[in-house]
Structure formats: C-alpha cells, structure tokens
Homo-oligomer: A and B are copies of this chain.
C-alpha cells in the first residue's frame, strides 16, 4: 500500500516543497519522512545522514545538508545554535525554547507553560527582531 503523505501544519510536505519551488525527489521525500515521522526532533546533518543510511536510504551527506537548508528556507525546519561546533535543526517551528544538555550535547524543547521573556528593550534603530532564543544550559548534577 502507498504511504500516506505526511502533514505538517495542515499542508502536506510535498505541497510545501512545491510551493518553495522544490521538486519532491526520492531523497527529499525519504528525508522528510524520517524528519517528520515522530514528533519533534533536534538533529544535526550528520545525525540524520547516519540515520538514513542506517535505514537503507541511499543519500549523500551533501544532499542531507542541501535538504536541511532548503527545508529551513521553506519554513519546515528551524536552525538552532547552541554549540559552536555543530548546527542543529529543529522540526518544531513554532516559537519555543530549549534545554541544552552540555554534557552530552543533546537539545530538547522546554515543555509545559511557555517561558516569558519580559523587559526586552526595543530593537536598536534600523534593526528588527528576527527571533528571541532562550537556551537553558544544563549540567549533570
């Protein structure tokens, strides 16, 4: 039986890719399946590539990088900066904040009630806020 097209924010991924002018190729479809199959994920290009290869999906690392960037530009993913040496991609694109486990380099959404960030002064002249990121860094205790 044919796999049902996955949905994100109501629209199918294929639809959103088309709108971004991206062809739904085998690689992009299979990566999208991996990415959006189970809930919110935080992963790096190398992690995703390993997982794909592991499941028998044939795709190059270059394509994984390309795809992650394209999905990000299409608004399907969001890039999170918490570690100077790795770039994380987040399948949760609604506004939310993160725990970063410094010891094992894991990233997770902060659950429950939203964090309030108050008292942020106006953006300086000539700029506008593109995003406010809150990262709670955790250490094993």
Chain A's interface: helix, strand, loop or mixed, by majority?
A: strand
What are the residues of chain B within 8 A of A117 when measuring CB–CB? 115-118, 134
Distance, CA A127 to CA B136, complexed state (A): 11
B127 touches A121 (CB 8 A): no
A137 touches B141 (CB 8 A): no
Task: Please report A residues at the B interface, Cβ cutoff 8 Å.
Answer: 79, 81-84, 86-87, 99, 101-102, 110-121, 123-124, 126-141
**Smallest CB-CB separation from A111: which chain B residue?**
B121
CB distance from A46 to the nearest CB of B (A): 13
A115 touches B110 (CB 8 A): no
A138 touches B130 (CB 8 A): yes
